[in-house]
Structure 1
């Protein structure tokens, strides 16, 4: 999914790649443990992830772990990347959500709402 956002990549990236930034729009709470794994909390349930790939200021990929914070085969992941269009002079957030959520319509509505919250945070 791609979303236009009226904010610079420099302003946006911390909201995508830091625990404090993610906690403002993405989930109920995010904590970073001493091993630099993220504990993302939704509805009082812990979901552990680690950054698998990061290009500072451009993209970040979170790979989700099991409840013992261990990697899974064919793990769910979430990829955020920022794209700049010279044609429109705009910034786009591309979201790749590789998970086993079955309903595409619900998934689209979820991301539309989350990105709406992000836009409120960054004023874009």
Structure 2
């Protein structure tokens, strides 16, 4: 199998709220529909994300309460790609400051655009949380 055509990147966002509250917005259909997309349905580990008339399906491939949630787009899975997008909650051991780390993959010429999209979406999330 050839190397994945997408490149991995990570973004870090400081968050001022509790881990359980933030995790609800990252791991539940209702929470995700508040900031990530217009609506979300799920059946088992398959989540269908809606943006207007567009829909995309992803499989939840990992989750640990108040720590992380990881999804893989079904179109990437069907193409044999090992890509994913992940939300990870990281707490500084000394200051107890909470950060949200977003890991995602994009084609090399789309990475900057993808980062800007995440910045916009996470800004919406932080606004909802009263954290920005």
Rounded to whole Å, the distance in 2 between the matches of 1:90 and 1:51 is 27
Higher relative helix content:
2
- 1:12 paired to 2:22: yes
Q: Which runs of 4+ in 1 moved over 6 A?
A: none
Rounded to whole Å, the distance in 1 between the matches of 2:40 and 2:108 is 21
Rounded to whole Å, the distance in 2 between the matches of 1:121 and 1:14 is 12
User: Which residue, out of 84, 89, 92, partners 2:99?
Assistant: 92
User: Which residue, out of 63, 69, 76, partners 1:60?
Assistant: 69
Deviation at 1:71, TM superposition (A): 4.3
1:122 alignment partner in structure 2: 129
Structure 1, unaligned stretches of length 5 or more? none
Q: Which SS does the other structure have where 1:102 is aligned?
A: helix
Structure 2, unaligned stretches of length 5 or more? 1-10
Deviation at 1:75, TM superposition (A): 4.7
CA RMSD of aligned residues (A): 1.9
> TM-score, normalised to structure 2's length?
0.82
2:58 alignment partner in structure 1: 49
> TM-score, normalised to structure 1's length?
0.87
Number of matched pairs: 121
Rounded to whole Å, the distance in 2 between the matches of 1:23 and 1:43 is 12
Q: Which has the higher contact order (CA 8 A, sep 6+)?
A: 2
Deviation at 1:89, TM superposition (A): 2.4
User: Structure 1's 55 and 72: CA in aligned 2 closer, same or farther, altered over 3 A?
Assistant: farther
